[in-house]
Amino acid sequence: MAKTTTATGLPKGFRDAGQGWPELARLPHPPHRLPFLGDVLGASRHTPLQDTLRYARALGPVFRRKAFGKEFVFVWGAREVADLADEARFAKHVGLGVANLRPVAGDGLFTAYNQEPNWQLAHDVLAPGFSREAMAGYHPMMLAVAGRLTDHWDRALAAGHAVDVPGDMTKLTLETIARTGFGHDFGSFERTRPHPFVTAMVGTLGYAQRLNTVPAPLARLLLRGAARRNAADIAYLNSTVDDLVARRRTAAGDGDLLDRMLATAHPVTGERLSARNVRRQVITFLVAGHETTSGALSFALHYLSRHPEIAARARAEVDAVWGDAESPGYDQVAKLRYVRRVLDESLRLWPTAPAYAREAVEDTVLAGEHPMRRGAWALVLTAMLHRDPEVWGPDAERFDPDRFEPGAVRSRAPHTFKPFGTGARACIGRQFALHEATLVLGLLLRRYTLVPDPAYRLRVTERLTLMPEGLRLRLERRPAPVGTGASAAVPDPPSAEPRCPVRRAGD
């Protein structure tokens, strides 16, 4: 069985930093702190992550923020984050934002507490579903869903319309995880509006985010209407998944994740997932399995549209590796090494899961400097770790896929790139997400030239995960590649895409 550290006997619910950090007063906090309200002056409840990035730059690698009587410690320095990755002393902490999702996801893989046995059971039962053999089996279905996306984009191009990148990437990734994992089709590309499942999912994520920004004693009053909508959203998610599972119980699938959940016993204990836990795992995969990947693809497409020389280099690689094959084989996707660097660099600047929490499983001292009691926790600010100038250089805000050239990767300290979390509780589906996203970027680069709106400036919307807001691109159809092998690479001439001289992270 996979090993994770448990932490039993700790108090339930939110644990204030004052309970676990004996020398909390030494940590800097934003200026102008108000009694009870805390560090709220100038803060936006809509962009708490981006606010925190601003404070991180001013306050340093370990700092604290207080809001409505709750105090949090944030960590982003490479040395401290590497120490928090020590599985002997630290484990995943189900932080406030994630805990707010437990009414819908319960003890699913993402939201389970370490001491809940269903996490270990589900992990061990489902891990083979992400083996290389299983991934190769998902590949044809990923191609089929990507074909629905390109058909949709071809129609938009023929009509002279720009495409809604975040909306279409959400459709793509929802259909991909639904088809590959659960044999279900939401019909997203046949709809003019998002599927109700997506609307309900966005509602639950937004409600969880709002709970973080409203004083707990007032939440029941101020969010009364939002709480009713959230209850309705959860009921819809539950009923959708219950119907999906009921259909599968009457007609076996082809060995996908749902079949594993329903039929596979733990290889050591012989235990099986309960019906209630199956529902929670399906919801977890449908939500987490598409929300973060759609954001990663959207950010990558934004940067490719703004950097034509990078898009040309990535496209030349696709043409060289895939040649004139109608569709790439599973092994050909892994050969798109530069396309993967584009994806990694997008995840560096905007990790769509922008933070994760770690708690001490014993009394310890973080990085030899900050005492922590057992149960004390910190929020690792991944989006700032990925911008640490001591790791990434003085141009850390610049988009540059060559940061992930093999020599550059080897030269960096471990634990400095963490878009999927860390340790035993890191994202179980990360290889699935990376294969899907690399495949889709390759297909889109081979088929289209991406034309940005010159007036657009990147805005990031926050709903626990991150997504570009209002991103629309125009498309130009490329001719089909001719020939195979390296000689088939046909990079676009410099004038094929509009140039953008600004290369900051927001462009």
Q: Are 137 and 131 in contact (CB under 8 A)?
A: no
Task: Provide the Cα torsion 428, 430, 431, 437; round to 10°.
Answer: 150
Q: How do beta strands 465-468 and 90-92 pair?
A: unpaired
Of 240, 399, 417, 427, the active-site residue reads 427
Q: Which of 452, 446, 478 minimizes the C-alpha distance to 162?
A: 452
Q: Are 48 and 213 in contact (CB under 8 A)?
A: yes
Q: Which two tokens stand for residue 452?
A: 């940005």
Using the CB atoms, write b or e for 338-361: b if 16+ within 10 Å: bbbbbbbbbbbbbbbbbbbbbbbb
Q: Which of 353, 230, 237 minimizes the C-alpha distance to 284?
A: 237
Of 404, 420, 438, 465, the active-site residue reads 420
> Which residues partner with 452 through β-bridges?
473
∠ Cα 150 156 161 (to 5°): 140
Distance CA 264, CA 273 (A): 8
List, in order, residues 6 or more apart from 380 with CB less than 8 Å away.
74, 75, 76, 81, 84, 355, 356, 357, 358, 418, 422
Residue with tokens 């370490």: 114
Using the CB atoms, write b or e for 246-255: b if 16+ within 10 Å: eebeeeebee
Backbone region of residue 483 per phi and psi (left: phi > 0; alpha: psi in -120 to 50; beta: other values): left
Q: Are 446 and 274 in contact (CB under 8 A)?
A: no
Of 292, 422, 438, 449, the active-site residue reads 292
∠ Cα 172 176 180 (to 5°): 170
Q: Is 500 among the catalytic positions?
A: no
| Sheet hosting strand 472-477, strand order edge to edge | 163-164, 472-477, 448-452
Backbone region of residue 262 per phi and psi (left: phi > 0; alpha: psi in -120 to 50; beta: other values): alpha
Q: Which two tokens stand for residue 280?
A: 């929670």
Q: Is 292 among the catalytic positions?
A: yes
Residues carrying an active site annotation: 292, 420, 427
